[in-house]
Structure 1
Amino acid sequence: MRRHMSRVWLAAALMGGMVTASPALAQQAPLPDSSAHDRVEEIIVTASPIGARRFDILQGTSSLSGEALDRVQSTTLGEALDKLPGLAQTGFGAGASRPIIRGQGGDRIRILSGGIGSIDASTTSPDHAPALDLATAKRVEVVRGPATLLYGNNAVGGVINVLDGRIPIAQPKDGVDGFARIGIGTNANERSLASGVDARLNGPFILHLDGFYRQTDDYKAPGFLESKILREEEDHEHEEEEEAKGRVDNSDLTQKGATGGLSYLADWGFFGVSASRFDSNYGISAGHSHEEQHEHEHEEGEEHGEEGPVRIDLGQTRLDLMGEVNQPYGIFETTKVRFGWADYKHTELEGGAPGTQFLNKGWEGRVEMVQRTIGNLSGAVGVQASSRDFQAIGEEAFVPPSDTDQMGVFTLQRLDLSPFALEGGVRLERQTVQASSADFDRDFTTLSLSAGASRQLGDGWMTGISLSRTERAPNAEELLSDGAHLATSTYERGDGTLGKETGLGVEATLKKTGGPVSGTVNLFLTDYDKYIYERLTGAEEDGLPVAQFSATDARFWGFEVEAETTLLRNDQVTVTLDGGVDYVRATDRDNNTPLPRIPALSARAGLGFELASVAARFEGVWTDKQKRTAALELPTDSSMVFNASMDWHPFPDQDITMLLELRNLTNEEVRLATSFLKDVLPQPGRDVRVSLRAGF
């Protein structure tokens, strides 16, 4: 314990020394854009309806766009974002990996498409992929920490907003604006295509079209698929079995999507609609968990595993509407409207035959009204509503059909008293969960509050503190689950009596923007009353360990430190150095034990070079051992991963970029402490990737 904490504070001290020894601090992503040293102040639309500057936001935020977004293109959203500060991934194979923010995932993280929920089944299980992709996205914004005021009671851990540009909001330059990208990757023989265009039609109409296609074979992992500690435990049971290594069977995938949108732009604002389709077919490489369950179910003498490999075939059809009216009305100057509807279905295929089906039809809408600035006071009020009709059909369905409805009203206010600023907000929400087949009907009313204060210290420095009180209602899976869940090799059991969980949180921040060095420090602490999580009880049901949704008092605390400096800058070359450390510690306070699947301490450093037509970057990412594990959870070894990339712009007057990436240069074995499959499925090994992007 003392040795582990010494590593935590040593890493923090090193980064803190790098930050405080310099005259500047500001918030940066670990993968800066090639023009980072000329970066203008960013507006983070996800964090505030009044368009807050990133420098003024008290919570931790990150964003990716341009070449930085091109460099993280991956088969899953979790893998694409896990280098950002405070983020990790569930790591459920090449086809399904959701992001984790500050140790929290599932239904505590809202994944949005243009400000509206993804409307899929990805929160139901870690083997369910979100129904969106970054291939055609224009920008991704992340808010770390409670975002319940704007996005609902199930955003207590944070928000990831994929700004896809499906509905144009501005005139394209020269009447047409678009891109095309082609890419390959060697590890899994990846092939990908993506393209998008905005075109001005006759009059005020703007047309948007985009599409992408990605296909991979089975990926390759370093060494044995089972971890060393698991192999040592099983040696006496499987002495004669050949241990799998290298290629991960049934990890191939195919993904594709297309969108069409149309907007009407006028002096008063805009209004637009879009229709999209997303499809994904991927294998579930869950070690031998499926085989063990089938073996248990088959009668004696039958050959187990005859169902064959398990795959997921998912599809979503989605309609979106967005508008903005910039005409004053009373005390309001801008009205924003956003609505999305989706029909989602995925089928679990066993040996090619349809098995369990998950269906989710839902909609979500929100209206925000931004106030006129009156003196030093600015703010917004809004209303949000959503409905979810969820069904799981089949012999292995572990949760009954249910309907979930939510309705919330909120307001955020900011008072500027230079050099001080005060801000606060409140959200009142009603949630109803019904399951007629289980004779279940419960209502929850949640109230979330926040307050913060900041001070500009001069020379670009800012410091601040924010307080929050959040309430979250349990979802249908936590209340109603009762059945074998083969993907996680557990028997999941809900608790219909679960109540609201309440979190009291504090976050302190220190930032600096401008100057040769920039960075940020965020410290956070949240105490939860009746925190809901899956607890392994030690009992078995249908041959599987029982995972019980239980409520306990819990505490999450941690920090994120980032810094970037310009080592050299002249007419020929710019050299930058950046780094970061993040850590989270989560404890079941009732039993004084660790919560399960919490990411380990990690640190990263990168060195970048920019010439007239070439930009190169080399980085290292170190992840500590995770020995602080929950009951029946194995520890995870440390890892050190090196990556390199080079962007080449062959024609100075053309928007054409060739990107060469080398991921995991040393073929390091990486296992994620956050993954259910960490001991049977390592992360991919060395991968050489090449892409060509042309903008027009």
Structure 2
Amino acid sequence: MTQNSTKNLILTTASTLALMLAISAPVSADETDDQKHSHGHEAEIEELFVTGAPHSKTRLDVLQGSNLISGEELDQRLEASIGETLSGIPGISSTFFGPGASRPIIRGLGGDRIRMLINGIGSIDASSTSPDHSVAADPLTAERIEVLRGASTLLYGSNAVGGVVNIIDGRIPSLIPEGGFEGRARLSYSSVADDVAGGASVNARLTGTDETALVLHLDGTFRNTGNYDIPGFSESAVLRATEEEEENGGEEEAFGTVENSDVDNKSGAVGLSWIGKDALFGISYSRNDSNYGVPGHHHHEEDHADEAPGEHEEEEEAPVRIDLDQKRFDLKGNLTRDFAIFEEARLRFGYADYKHTELEGSEIGTIFTNKGWEGRLELIQKEIGNLHGSMGLQLRERDFEAIGAEAFVPPTTTRQWGIFAVEELSLDPVTLEFGARFDHQSVDNKALGQTRSFSNISLSAGGAYHPTAESLIGLSLGRTERAPTAEELFSNGPHLATSAFEVGNPNLDKERATSLELTLKQESDRLTASLNLYHTWYDDFIFEAFTGQQEGGLNILEFRQRDARFYGAELEVDYLAYSVGTHNIWLNLSGDLVRAKFTGDLGNLPRIPAKSATVGFAYEGETLGASGSIRFVDDQTNLAASELMTEGYTDINMEVSWRPFGDDQDLTLRLQGKNLSNAERRQHTSFLKDLLPMPGRSVKISATYGF
């Protein structure tokens, strides 16, 4: 796909949005209640967005870019990892390190700049340390996923400067089930990797009434896959051409299947809540066990493919696998009662004992451990006139250690504490928002006895104007300070996942980001649309710089600082084109772009996603549904030093769903065809983009049942 064609499509999309915003107001009142509630997307709009605001809001009222994925949409999007589940939403890409490990990239930012939360508390794993480390949360456990980017993410710390992904799993029950018992089950099969996955959860009232009760939660999930199929060669054509020029292309190239890409994952949890009229207290214990292959590591060793079997056996690298285990304890408390200037108190606490072992064949390579905890106390203020808000305290501790051949980070202890406040002033039709947060972080290098401490101040302000009850024009401004991580300060060793010898810089200063975002939204019975335009200026942005030197055959990368800027746009449009009785047809249009450059024409930042645009439709009837989409991803030619260009692709997807009992029973059968053209698809945001394409054509069947 050419660059001009994508630009034209995005310009057409933007023009369509502007036209729809202009015509939507007079037609929205013509819809009936039946039409409104028959469309799954409309039902989802009525859900409240709980991340990043003192009071729950509808998506229309969230000032910055946001997504809420639940219900039918979540069932449609579910993949083996949280990164691939969210990838393709405007503004979101992934680190794609195979099916076992994939973390979200938001607006070109990843790693420690994206906070992964489970029910508002950090995932407490090692996923931000390296792209081959999985997030310790299976999307199968999620009831809903909320994504927030922009200035209001400061509630969750400066580590959320790029965005927040909050997985809400309901493992601590917050509602008394109707009739005393409720549950949900899901089972699926995907052909591309013989992927069999399923899960079930139940909530049961043990004692009490419909108003006050003790509620038990149980859930379990599993996923088992083989190696996944690809359309052609594992290596990209661009890389193969480079190897031929360098006369290094002698090995037999992988074709048709990605070896060592299988996944075996199991998780389970038990939770217990006491739910009263004005109080809630609950606890849960969960376990996540995963064993997955890390494809692509064999490219780091010398090539002996032409030699006789048995020669150089000791020098060849065995397949690398990761055996992950996390034990986690969570606590939740809510008290709704007036005291002083407050009306509610919310307590969240999580502790996790995380360990993963990197296996090289049958040998133990490196062991990563992370014992950590995090707690939040948030006090919700009474509404005083037109003003309401919240303030709170957050504490975190991370005891991280890597032992073995790839221990590129020394043992460290990171402690953080922060205080924050957000306020909202309603001056109908204008709403003003203000936020402030102070953070203190210390990082102790146990091996060298070094300690670095930082104090950060983050501020945000925004205003929303509602021209009508169904539209919003918002402008937000944020100033965030982020302290460098232990990895950025103290790394010193080989990191095969990134094909580099990483060298930290203990003299790094904190980075500062100033962000400006314009948001336009429309949500009516006929039209749901949003447009986000943003620009972020970074002072002393921390990045890994190529030095041109090597250590042990690996490129030496040093953590350095330089001013940079990110800017881009995100667009989503759903338009009700036809509606008769219970039959509705929706047209969908979306797209995104992001650019990231060092200030002063010093080049592009690496692994920035290419421009993309998607067109689609969705039909919904009383028992049948169907949808289809075509996604266009452009070539990525805005390259950083030592990067190869990534070719674009066209991704075609179709789906048919059937509810055999209609609304009388919550049973849905779904047939999906993914990447129907069997296109070779590569994520420019992945370290393995030239070694590891995304899966080829796949047929997926699934069944979900609620009771």
Task: Normalising by structure 2, report the TM-score.
Answer: 0.94
Q: How do 1:209-358 and structure 2 match up within 5 A?
A: 209-236=218-245, 237-286=247-296, 288-292=298-302, 302-358=312-368
Q: What CA distance in whole angstroms lies between the structure 2 residues aligned with 1:448 and 1:239?
A: 51
What's the counterpart of residue 566 of structure 1?
576
Identity between Structure 1 and Structure 2 (%): 46
Q: What CA distance in whole angstroms lies between the structure 2 residues aligned with 1:220 and 1:34?
A: 35
Q: What CA distance in whole angstroms lies between the structure 1 residues aligned with 2:155 and 2:81?
A: 26
Q: What CA distance in whole angstroms lies between the structure 1 residues aligned with 2:317 and 2:638?
A: 37
Deviation at 1:34, TM superposition (A): 4.9
Q: How do 1:349-388 and structure 2 match up within 5 A?
A: 349-388=359-398
Q: What CA distance in whole angstroms lies between the structure 2 residues aligned with 1:503 and 1:227?
A: 35
What's the counterpart of residue 659 of structure 1?
670
Q: How do 1:51-450 and structure 2 match up within 5 A?
A: 51-203=56-208, 204-236=213-245, 237-286=247-296, 288-292=298-302, 302-450=312-460
Deviation at 1:542, TM superposition (A): 1.4
Look up the SS of the partner of 1:437 in the other structure.
Answer: coil
Deviation at 1:543, TM superposition (A): 1.1
Q: What CA distance in whole angstroms lies between the structure 2 residues aligned with 1:33 and 1:98?
A: 33
Q: State whether residues 144 and 167 of structure 2, in contact with CA within 8 Å, keep that contact through their aligned partners in structure 1.
A: yes
Worse-matched range after superposition: 395-404 or 13-22: 13-22
What's the counterpart of residue 613 of structure 1?
623
Q: State whether residues 146 and 155 of structure 1, in contact with CA within 8 Å, keep that contact through their aligned partners in structure 2.
A: no
What's the counterpart of residue 24 of structure 2?
24
Worse-matched range after superposition: 48-57 or 657-666: 48-57
Q: What CA distance in whole angstroms lies between the structure 2 residues aligned with 1:551 and 1:627?
A: 24
Gaps of 5+ in 1: 27-31, 296-300
Q: What CA distance in whole angstroms lies between the structure 2 residues aligned with 1:346 and 1:240?
A: 35
Could you say if the C-alpha distance between residues 147 and 7 of structure 1 is closer, same or farther in structure 2, counting changes exceeding 3 Å?
farther
Q: What CA distance in whole angstroms lies between the structure 1 residues aligned with 2:38 and 2:594?
A: 27
Q: What CA distance in whole angstroms lies between the structure 2 residues aligned with 1:282 and 1:528?
A: 36
Q: What CA distance in whole angstroms lies between the structure 2 residues aligned with 1:624 and 1:264?
A: 52
Look up the SS of the partner of 1:470 in the other structure.
Answer: strand
Q: What CA distance in whole angstroms lies between the structure 2 residues aligned with 1:34 and 1:663?
A: 23
Q: What CA distance in whole angstroms lies between the structure 2 residues aligned with 1:409 and 1:521?
A: 32
Worse-matched range after superposition: 395-404 or 452-461: 452-461
Equivalent position amino acid for 1:218 in 2: N
Look up the SS of the partner of 1:594 in the other structure.
Answer: coil
Deviation at 1:459, TM superposition (A): 5.3
Q: State whether residues 399 and 413 of structure 2, in contact with CA within 8 Å, keep that contact through their aligned partners in structure 1.
A: yes
Q: Deviations over 1:56-113 (max 9, x none)?
A: 2111000111121111111111111002121000011111010000000000000000
Worse-matched range after superposition: 6-15 or 542-551: 6-15
Q: What CA distance in whole angstroms lies between the structure 2 residues aligned with 1:177 and 1:198?
A: 5
Q: What CA distance in whole angstroms lies between the structure 2 residues aligned with 1:581 and 1:185?
A: 27
What's the counterpart of residue 49 of structure 1?
54
- Aligned counterpart for 1:11 among listed residues 9, 25, 35: 9
Q: What CA distance in whole angstroms lies between the structure 2 residues aligned with 1:486 and 1:129?
A: 16
Q: What CA distance in whole angstroms lies between the structure 1 residues aligned with 2:192 and 2:617?
A: 25
Worse-matched range after superposition: 572-581 or 661-670: 572-581
What's the counterpart of residue 29 of structure 1?
none
Q: State whether residues 481 and 494 of structure 1, in contact with CA within 8 Å, keep that contact through their aligned partners in structure 2.
A: yes
Q: State whether residues 667 and 686 of structure 1, in contact with CA within 8 Å, keep that contact through their aligned partners in structure 2.
A: yes
Look up the SS of the partner of 2:338 in the other structure.
Answer: coil
Look up the SS of the partner of 1:201 in the other structure.
Answer: strand
Q: What CA distance in whole angstroms lies between the structure 1 residues aligned with 2:174 and 2:258?
A: 43
Look up the SS of the partner of 1:55 in the other structure.
Answer: helix
Could you say if the C-alpha distance between residues 591 and 493 of structure 1 is closer, same or farther in structure 2, counting changes exceeding 3 Å?
farther
Q: State whether residues 229 and 256 of structure 2, in contact with CA within 8 Å, keep that contact through their aligned partners in structure 1.
A: yes
Equivalent position amino acid for 2:271 in 1: G
Q: State whether residues 151 and 460 of structure 2, in contact with CA within 8 Å, keep that contact through their aligned partners in structure 1.
A: no
Q: State whether residues 42 and 525 of structure 2, in contact with CA within 8 Å, keep that contact through their aligned partners in structure 1.
A: no
- Aligned counterpart for 1:504 among listed residues 514, 538, 563: 514
- State whether structure 2 residue 679 is matched by structure 1 residue 674: no
Q: Deviations over 1:133-179 (max 9, x none)?
A: 11121100000234542101100000000000000001111111101
Gaps of 5+ in 2: 29-36, 306-310
Equivalent position amino acid for 1:15 in 2: T
Deviation at 1:311, TM superposition (A): 0.3
Equivalent position amino acid for 1:118 in 2: S
Equivalent position amino acid for 2:180 in 1: G
Deviation at 1:241, TM superposition (A): 3.1
Deviation at 1:115, TM superposition (A): 0.3
Q: What CA distance in whole angstroms lies between the structure 2 residues aligned with 1:147 and 1:63?
A: 16
Worse-matched range after superposition: 500-509 or 515-524: 515-524
Q: What CA distance in whole angstroms lies between the structure 2 residues aligned with 1:677 and 1:642?
A: 23
Q: What CA distance in whole angstroms lies between the structure 2 residues aligned with 1:569 and 1:287?
A: 53
Task: Normalising by structure 1, report the TM-score.
Answer: 0.96
Equivalent position amino acid for 1:224 in 2: F
Deviation at 1:435, TM superposition (A): 0.9
Could you say if the C-alpha distance between residues 517 and 245 of structure 1 is closer, same or farther in structure 2, counting changes exceeding 3 Å?
same
Q: Deviations over 1:582-620 (max 9, x none)?
A: 010000115520000000001011111112101111011
What's the counterpart of residue 298 of structure 1?
none
* Cα RMSD (Å): 1.9
Equivalent position amino acid for 1:55 in 2: L
- State whether structure 2 residue 531 is matched by structure 1 residue 521: yes
Q: State whether residues 192 and 228 of structure 2, in contact with CA within 8 Å, keep that contact through their aligned partners in structure 1.
A: yes
Could you say if the C-alpha distance between residues 385 and 56 of structure 1 is closer, same or farther in structure 2, counting changes exceeding 3 Å?
same
Look up the SS of the partner of 2:688 in the other structure.
Answer: coil
Deviation at 1:293, TM superposition (A): 10
Q: State whether residues 616 and 630 of structure 2, in contact with CA within 8 Å, keep that contact through their aligned partners in structure 1.
A: yes
Q: Deviations over 1:389-414 (max 9, x none)?
A: 00000122101000000000000001
Q: What CA distance in whole angstroms lies between the structure 1 residues aligned with 2:250 and 2:494?
A: 29
Q: What CA distance in whole angstroms lies between the structure 2 residues aligned with 1:396 and 1:378?
A: 50
Q: What CA distance in whole angstroms lies between the structure 2 residues aligned with 1:7 and 1:57?
A: 32
Equivalent position amino acid for 2:224 in 1: Q
Worse-matched range after superposition: 169-178 or 7-16: 7-16
Q: What CA distance in whole angstroms lies between the structure 2 residues aligned with 1:162 and 1:84?
A: 16
Look up the SS of the partner of 2:240 in the other structure.
Answer: helix
Q: State whether residues 251 and 303 of structure 2, in contact with CA within 8 Å, keep that contact through their aligned partners in structure 1.
A: no
Q: Deviations over 1:363-393 (max 9, x none)?
A: 0000110000010001000100000000000
Could you say if the C-alpha distance between residues 644 and 249 of structure 1 is closer, same or farther in structure 2, counting changes exceeding 3 Å?
same
Q: State whether residues 125 and 136 of structure 2, in contact with CA within 8 Å, keep that contact through their aligned partners in structure 1.
A: yes
